[in-house]
A and B are shown apart, each in its own frame.
Chain A
Amino acid sequence: MSDGEVAPAIFANYTHGRSYDEMFEKADKHRPHYDGIHHRLCSLPLEQWRERQHAADLAFVTHGITFTVYGRSEGVERIFPFDLLPRLVTAAEWHVVERGLTQRITALNHFLHDVYHDGRIFAAGIVPRRLVRECRHFRREMIGVSVPHDSYLTVVGTDLVRGPDGRFVVLEDNLRVPSGVSYMLGNRQVVKQVYPQLFERYHVRPIDHYPRMLLAHLREIAPAGCVDPKIVLLTPGVFNSAYYEHTFLAHEMAIDLVEGRDLLVHDNTVYARTTAGLERVDVIYRRVDDDYLDPLTFESKSTLGVAGLFNAYRAGHVTIANAVGTGVADDKAVYAYVPAMIRFYLSEDPILDNVQTYLLDNPADRAYVLDHLAELVVKPVGESGGYGMLVGPHSTAQQRSEMRDCILANPRNYIAQPTIALSTAPCLVDDGVEPRHVDLRPYVLCGRSITVVPGGLTRVALQRGSLVVNSSQGGGSKDTWVLGA
């Protein structure tokens, strides 16, 4: 619609703040690529939208894309809240993201190899060796171990946010066991049913072949000499909250979903116990944390893993994806050094910036942060899911005081970042359409080559004004449309 026209009622509560809004350049002026969406929103009554949202929710349940909580006595299935309005990214914007992520993950792979081999980046004084050794996720067992194609990372979920200037910056990398892909795929499935025409008109780039792509990457990293590698997905089992995703991916890739007890290591070779006997396993896509992978090498009380697995891995007889010990590179304090890693390993300037990060182990940074707790976001370095963090502007004095104590007790465990005004995107709420803060988690697949999946999971903070998008803490998601050129 043109300037000067009155906004339709559906946008009556659409406030415009200092965040970048995905859809609106300013009040009453939407961005050109949102034409189709805007038109739909204006032309259909709100009740119809509500009906469609309801139908979408139902579709999730019918398709079985649920967040299942398996208690001892009940099997309650919940859906991950989903908003019907897609979040759009233009081809040009995506091109930058794609190049930036490819560059970043290439550098991270180099870093991982370096950390567990020569340590050149330590010798060069770029990254403190001490910082890395102190990481909870550093695994000395990986020192000197070779992985196929030096590819430590197979599935990466990097969280991006768009700042007020409209540029995407990297919030954090998730390099151990990133999840959420099943929601990305589920969202797409549902949304395609709701907007088949719009979808086609926009030439939205497809993502449905994710499982096939993942499988192809997993094949690429099979041990040398493997002709037809047997690939399995190792799950912790039914109690894991992401279990649905494990079953979904295993099914789509047509590989066996196994638990630790299904596998056996004999003479440094991994086997699956099948009705046809022991079948050699070559690649394990594991959704089990390092600590629980192998009770012989790691946590001895773990029943989720396979005794002797790491020895077979070290000997190169099985590939584990993602590699063991990658957590050392998604530590939030190490994150601060990623731009430096890009320069060191690739001699390039980073295409995607980091968010400014204060390392609380650093006295100057610490002093600044303790003085400005009410303005900053403080996070523990090794956690995910948004736990243990303080969102300064939304915190109470009590919470800040507790965080101060935590920081002083263990400064190495925390980083702080300025609160970023995450971009907002239109979401369907009871009375119409309102802006909600969003981030973006694209998924990147690596093997011999790197594939950035176009789109990813747009996570939404469903509460008005909230900045917390994590699924485990009341977030929801949207489908992400990367537009064809």
Chain B
Amino acid sequence: MDYTVTHATRFEYQGPVSESQMEVRLTPRHDERQTVQEFEITTNPAASILGYVDAFGNDVRHFNIIAPHSELVVRTRARIRTSPARQLPERLEPDTWSVLKGLRDNGELWDFFEPSPRVPFSPAVRALAAALDIEGHADPLTCTRRIVSAVHAAFVYTPDSTTVDTPLDTVLDERRGVCQDFTHAALAFLRLHGIPARYVSGYLAPSSESSQQNVTSHAWIEAWLPGLEWVAFDPTHDSAAGERHISVAVGSDYGDAAPTRGLFRGGPAGRLSVFVQIERDGAVSLGEMHWGPPALAENAPPAIMQSDQ
């Protein structure tokens, strides 16, 4: 399926700020399942946009703005072609567990076997994993499917119930969250079962039936399985990822794959708003989302006692 994605992020500051540094992970991935025909990024105020490829293979763009500004908008536009959902076998051989164990012992895929800042192996996580009674003896693919389903069943999708910083333990306690939380929970259980899995951030294009669906940034998981390599599942929807899933960035958790991250100097934090538009076959859907305190850290200079009278 061919899509055109427009993504705009606006930071509105309460007062002028200066010296902002920003990194964005907004370039859709270009791999076997998805190709990018075109990608464009602009900023306002204007800046030199530089880039690099990070350790997870994400195409990172970054820029800085020195002069004072009260608002910063980053806008991207991409044309992507996605592939239909992948044909997966019904199951794998049970001895694939030992392949995974071998990889783990050898330190391979280390970021995806181990806990990460937003995916801890806390007592709450372990307790819920035990309570969900996921059968770990089947093969890793079946186990993965079961975990994805179990997460879908165990949590209630509740928009605006959490923020980017809500700890996983809180989500487990309240049993509700948004796609980021479903994904982190699934990652925790997958990793506890010895299945390497990574966080994927991207977009879920609306289905043809519903053109009024809210389009937002979306998150799901990819598990690495012997013979299949990375396979994508969506815990929020209890499904395998298909051609509506447009992947953008991957990492051990949200922290590695956040669409934008940055800092600025001076002034209190303001408001972040995100606008995503995905066009397909002429149908246009609009989505708008307002998040509270932005995913920015204020980087004020340390206090030096001074007074201007």
The interface of chain A, by Cβ under 8 A from chain B, is: 122, 128-134, 140-141, 143-144, 261, 264-268, 295-296, 300-301, 303, 307-308, 311, 314-315
B302 contact set on A, CB distance < 8 A: 261, 303
Contact of A308 with B297 in the complex, beta carbons under 8 Å: no
A267, B48: Cβ atoms under 8 Å? yes
Q: Which of B107-115, B136-144, B219-227 contacts A (4 or more CB under 8 A)?
A: B107-115
Please classify the interface of chain B as helix (H, G, I), strand (E, B), loop, or mixed, using the class held by over half of its residues.
Answer: mixed
Q: Check A308–B107 contact: CB distance below 8 A.
A: no
B104, B106, B111, B262: the one within 8 Å of A140 (CB) = B111
Given contacts A266-B66, A295-B299, A315-B50, 12 further A-B contacts (CB under 8 A): A122-B107, A128-B106, A130-B107, A134-B107, A261-B301, A267-B48, A296-B262, A296-B263, A300-B263, A307-B21, A307-B64, A308-B21
Q: Top 7 closest A-B pairs, CB basis? A: A130-B107, A129-B107, A133-B110, A307-B21, A140-B55, A308-B21, A300-B297
A295 and B110 form a contact (CB under 8 A):
no
Chain A residues in 8 Å Cβ range of B301: 261, 303
B256 to chain A, nearest CB (A): 9
Question: Known interface pairs A130-B107, A311-B62. Does A295 touch B297 (Cβ–Cβ under 8 Å)?
Answer: yes
Asked if A141 and B297 make an inter-chain contact with CB atoms under 8 angstroms apart, the answer reads no
Q: How many residues of B sit at the interface, in one of the four size bands?
A: 20 to 34
* Contact A141 B55, beta carbon cutoff 8 Å: yes
Instruction: Chain B residues near A307: list those with CB within 8 A.
Output: 19, 21, 64, 263, 299
Give the complex CA separation of A128 and B62 in angstroms.
35
A314 to B107, CA, bound (A): 25
Q: B263 and A311: CB pair below 8 A?
A: no
Indicate if the CB atoms of B106 and A130 lie closer than 8 Å. yes
- By a CB distance below 8 angstroms, the chain B residues around A132 are 107
B261 interface residue (CB < 8 Å to A)? yes
Check: B71 CB closer than 8 A to any chain A CB.
Answer: no
CA distance A261 to B66 in the complex (A): 14
B299 touches A130 (CB 8 A): no
Q: Which residue of B lies closest to A129 (CB)?
A: B107
Known contacts A141-B54, A315-B50: A265-B106 contact under CB 8 Å = no
Query: What's the minimum C-beta distance from B106 to chain A, rounded to whole angstroms?
Result: 6
Query: B243-265: contact bitstring with A at CB < 8 Å (1 yes, 0 no)?
Result: 00000000000000000011100
Does the CB pair A267–B64 fall under 8 Å? yes
Contact of B107 among A131, A266, A311 (CB under 8 A): A131
Residues of B within 8 A of A141 (CB): 54-55
Q: Which residue of B lies closest to A305 (CB)?
A: B299
Q: Are B54 and A308 in contact (CB under 8 A)?
A: no
| Chain A residues with CB below 8 A from B111, complex form | 140
The answer to whether B105 has its CB under 8 Å from any CB of chain A is yes
A296 — nearest CB in chain B belongs to which residue?
B21
Could you jot down 13 A-B contacts, CB within 8 Å? Answer: A128-B106, A129-B106, A130-B106, A133-B110, A144-B55, A261-B302, A295-B263, A296-B23, A296-B261, A303-B299, A303-B302, A307-B21, A308-B64
User: A140-B111, A303-B299, A308-B64 are contacts. A315–B52 as well, Cβ < 8 Å?
Assistant: yes
